[in-house]
Amino acid sequence: MGCKQTDNVGAYVGRRLSDEQREKYEIHLQNCVRCRSEVKIFSKIKEVLKTRPLYSIPKDAPKIDVVDRTLATIHAIEQDPKYLKLVAKHGSEEKVPEADYMKIAKKYFNKK
């Protein structure tokens, strides 16, 4: 029961899809249980991350390590003052240009 579009889940939850991509993906979500459940899991973890400080995530966290780290990174980016400024400038998170987002994201993804 694989779905190639599960690759979009992270970007979708992290709000990195363009308006058009998001709309398309949301239509897909209505028909794909697999993606829906992944979105649910990602959203849940993202929510949890928002309620606890980043440093509470153990560096060698087991099992969902990759997901946890990815979402921790997304979370960290969303807290970045530069990112928040961009969001304010563009009116919403969805409108922040990919290039600008990546400039900020780079710093976090390169961090060990």
Residues of this chain that interact with Zn ion (CB under 5 A) are 3, 5, 32, 34-35
Whether 42 contacts 67, CB under 8 Å: yes
Give whichever of 33 and 54 is closer to Zn ion, judged by the CB atom.
33
Structural tokens at position 35: 């993606």
In this structure, the number of other CB atoms found within 10 A of the CB of residue 68 comes to: 17
Give min distance, CB of 93 to Zn ion, in A. Answer: 23
Alpha carbon 40 to chain centroid, angstroms: 12
Give whichever of 28 and 69 is closer to Zn ion, judged by the CB atom.
28
Give whichever of 30 and 92 is closer to Zn ion, judged by the CB atom.
30
In the chain, the largest separation of any two C-alpha atoms, in whole Å, equals 42
Give min distance, CB of 25 to Zn ion, in A. Answer: 9
